[in-house]
């Protein structure tokens, strides 16, 4: 059973009719299969029409969808022989950050991800994907491990942001994030980051410094949530749709701005409707980028990453008399 968003109500009604027909006993002179096929065609057409004109706020809702695949789902689908590694070697294990060693397309690599959890128990265990300092230090440990053994690092980003609790601040949340930025900017192995859901603030950027940044079509990446932005600007989270429209947080807009290198198309109706197809799209993108990046010498790789980061915010404007 699907969990439907508000703007998907017409789709929900059609799919509800399909389920009703499937459970009806066949009657003479009525071909239920034909009716189901006709309704399925209407659903496909309505999905295409609906998802072709989503607003930034609606895309934010899709990025947060209850059924959307998370980091662990993609690890299961993409990584062979995944061996999870735990702990930051300083304080504790943080389940909000998952990571370890595995094989992708026949080669070893290190995968790191922020994990939200798939159900209530999972969300509590993984703290809804909001990492504490020990989670980011664990990610840093895995990055250094990747560099030590000459393995590519593959971050999977899906977080509303770093955990803002007092205990996290006391243990150096800002320092842990800042140090990750420094380490990743100088890492001597390829880094390909993929935003698979929400890319929220420093919590996302802490594992997002990379050689190639790609986003799933209906994922988001921003410095603050639309609700947080609206609360600051309008003193009301009810203005979140307006904030989302102004923030430029969608994959398409960020690609236009040159912040994101690639937008990966999702299955019709979003990744939550077809986990396998979504994972296959990521697989193809990763194979292509790994093949390209592994041809670069270490110095060229790091210099290219530096130039990419320094290009953010560069705007070429026309002179007044042009």
Helix (H), strand (E) at residue 80: strand 80-84
Q: For the segment 269-316, what is each residue's pLDDT rounded down to a tens digit?
A: 999 999 999 999 999 999 999 999 999 999 999 999 999 999 887 755
Lowest-pLDDT range, 4-8, 39-43, 89-93, 265-269?
39-43
Same domain, 174 and 291: yes
Is residue 257 in a domain?
Answer: yes
pLDDT of residue 321: 39
Same domain, 10 and 86: no
pLDDT of residue 158: 97
Using CA atoms, how far apart are residues 40 and 267, in angstroms rounded to an integer? 16
Same domain, 19 and 79: no
Band of residue 47 on the pLDDT scale cut at 50, 70, 90: very high
Burial tier of 282 (Cβ tally within 10 Å: 0-12, 13-18, 19+): buried
pLDDT of residue 180: 96
Same domain, 173 and 288: yes
Is residue 321 in a domain?
Answer: no
Same domain, 145 and 16: no
Is residue 316 in a domain?
Answer: no
pLDDT at position 21 over 90: no
Same domain, 15 and 133: no
Band of residue 23 on the pLDDT scale cut at 50, 70, 90: confident
Q: What mean pLDDT comes out for the span 62-89?
A: 96
Using CA atoms, how far apart are residues 77 and 219, in angstroms rounded to an integer? 19
pLDDT at position 174 over 90: yes
Helix (H), strand (E) at residue 310: helix 298-310
Same domain, 47 and 131: no
pTM for the predicted model, two decimal places: 0.91
Band of residue 39 on the pLDDT scale cut at 50, 70, 90: confident
pLDDT of residue 18: 83
Q: By C-alpha distance, which of 96, 101, 104 is closest to 70?
A: 96
Same domain, 227 and 121: yes
Is residue 215 in a domain?
Answer: yes
Is residue 249 in a domain?
Answer: yes
Domain that holds residue 49: 1-23+31-53
Same domain, 78 and 13: no
Residue identified by tokens 């042009």 is 322
Q: What mean pLDDT comes out for the span 239-252?
A: 96
Query: Are the C-beta atoms of 116 and 126 separated by less than 8 Å?
Result: yes
Q: For the segment 88-131, what is each residue's pLDDT rounded down to a tens digit?
A: 999 999 999 999 999 999 999 999 999 999 999 999 999 999 99
Residue identified by tokens 């895309």 is 59
Same domain, 153 and 9: no
Question: How many separate domains does the chain show?
Answer: 2
Is residue 73 in a domain?
Answer: yes
Is residue 318 in a domain?
Answer: no
Q: What mean pLDDT comes out for the span 49-72?
A: 96
Same domain, 187 and 127: yes
Same domain, 194 and 264: yes
Q: What mean pLDDT comes out for the span 148-153?
A: 97
Dump the DSSP string for 19-51: HHHHTSPP-TT--HHHHHHHHHHHHHHHHHHHH
pLDDT at position 142 over 60: yes
């Amino acid at each position: 059973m699907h969990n439907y968003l508000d703007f998907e109500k017409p789709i929900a009604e059609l799919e509800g009719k399909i389920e009703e027909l499937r459970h009806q006993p066949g009657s003479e002179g009525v071909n239920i299969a034909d009716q189901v096929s006709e309704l399925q065609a209407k659903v496909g057409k309505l999905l295409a029409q609906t998802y072709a004109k989503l607003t930034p706020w609606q895309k934010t809702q899709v990025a947060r969808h209850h059924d959307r695949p998370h980091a662990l789902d993609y690890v299961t689908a993409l990584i062979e022989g995944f061996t999870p590694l735990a702990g930051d070697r300083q304080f504790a294990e943080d389940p909000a950050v998952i990571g370890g060693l595995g094989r992708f397309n026949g080669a070893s690599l290190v995968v790191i991800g922020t994990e939200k959890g798939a159900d209530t128990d999972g969300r509590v265990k993984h703290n809804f994907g909001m990492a504490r300092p020990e989670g980011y230090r664990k990610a840093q440990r895995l990055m250094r491990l990747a560099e030590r053994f000459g393995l590519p690092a593959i971050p999977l980003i899906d977080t509303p942001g770093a955990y803002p609790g007092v205990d996290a601040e006391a243990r150096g949340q800002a320092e842990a994030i800042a140090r990750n930025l420094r380490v990743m900017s100088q890492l001597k192995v390829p880094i390909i980051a993929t935003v698979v859901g929400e890319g929220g603030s420093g919590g996302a950027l802490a594992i997002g410094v990379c050689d190639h940044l790609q986003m799933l079509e209906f994922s988001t990446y921003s410095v603050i949530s639309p609700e947080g932005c609206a609360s600051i600007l309008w003193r009301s989270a009810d203005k979140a749709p307006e904030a989302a429209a102004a923030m430029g947080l969608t994959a398409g807009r960020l690609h236009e701005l040159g912040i994101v290198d690639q937008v990966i198309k999702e299955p019709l109706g979003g990744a939550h409707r077809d986990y396998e197809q979504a994972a296959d799209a990521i697989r193809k993108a990763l194979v292509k980028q790994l093949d390209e990046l592994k041809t670069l010498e270490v110095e060229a790789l790091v210099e290219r990453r530096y130039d990419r980061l320094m290009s953010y915010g560069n705007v070429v404007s026309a002179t007044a008399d042009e």
